[in-house]
Amino acid sequence: MSGRERLHKLLAAGGFGSRRRCEELIRLGEVEVDGRPVTEVGVKVDPERQKIKCAGRYLRPPRPLTLVLNKPRGILCTAKDERGRKTVFDLLHGVRDRLFAVGRLDAESQGLLLLTNDGELCNLLTHPRYAVPRTYHVMVRGSVTPELLERMRKGVWLAEGRTAPVLARVKHRERSRARGESCVLEVTVREGMNREVRRIFSRYGLKVKRLKRIRVGALNLGPLTEGQYRVLDRSEVEGLKRAAQAAVERKETAHAEEE
């Protein structure tokens, strides 16, 4: 999540009118950035570092807000969909703050999704350097052997390169005459590559039938039912940030030991 955003979008989000109205205010010279008039529409500014004034009122920086949502299947993580499909933001009844999804889940996946306007938290949870663990319940069709689990623990080669160790354990197995064997596993990954878990199993010829994220770091869904969300308190947000920093320290220590 970038710190610089288009000025008219920030003003609209801050309650100064529609985007068109805010563009007009900029052209009329009603907007100042760090004490200087700005008349160019489309200019980008950093609301966390710059003072923005419109029609005599300062734009207040957004209050830090982080939510955890239990995302249902069939819901998109985008802000808008051209085809009019439902998105996670349609579920946030009563929330007016502009939020970003952290580590998206594809439409057919479900479970724990974080949404925030905290740029630091978003970076800590999405940048590969920090490698915060994400845990999933995964149902796959096919046989998962101990040998396969061991191969996954050594990392799996995908288009972007080899993943960090993938920790997986079989929770239970199911077998039917019509569908053959299916397995339910608990899987923990760290990178957060696009559709990483699905691609890992596909690499071994196994199709994921159901995928649910149950935990990010130490944060879990708790009693949230599908479609429900709650606001994280400060201690929970700080806990996620500490987990990211601790992951970096572990990686640096491991590299030092290898050398």
CA–CA–CA angle 248, 162, 131 (5° rounding): 20
Neighbours of 109 (CB within 10 A): 22
pLDDT digits (tens, 9 = 90+) for 121-170: 888 888 777 778 999 999 999 989 999 999 999 999 998 889 989 999 99
Which of 1.10.10.1150, 3.90.550.10, 3.30.70.580, 3.30.70.890 would CATH assign to domain 62-131+217-244? 3.30.70.580
Q: Which helix (H) or strand (E) holds 67?
A: strand 66-71
Domain ranges of the chain: 5-58, 62-131+217-244, 133-216
pLDDT tens sequence across 171-223: 999 887 777 889 999 999 987 788 899 999 999 999 999 999 999 999 999 99
Superfamily of domain 133-216 in the CATH hierarchy: Alpha-L RNA-binding motif (3.30.70.1560)
Spatial contact of 243 and 190, defined as CB atoms under 8 Å apart: no
Asked if 106 is an active-site residue, the reply is yes
Q: Do 5-58 and 133-216 show the same overall fold?
A: no
Exactly one of 34, 81, 106, 233 is catalytic; name it: 106
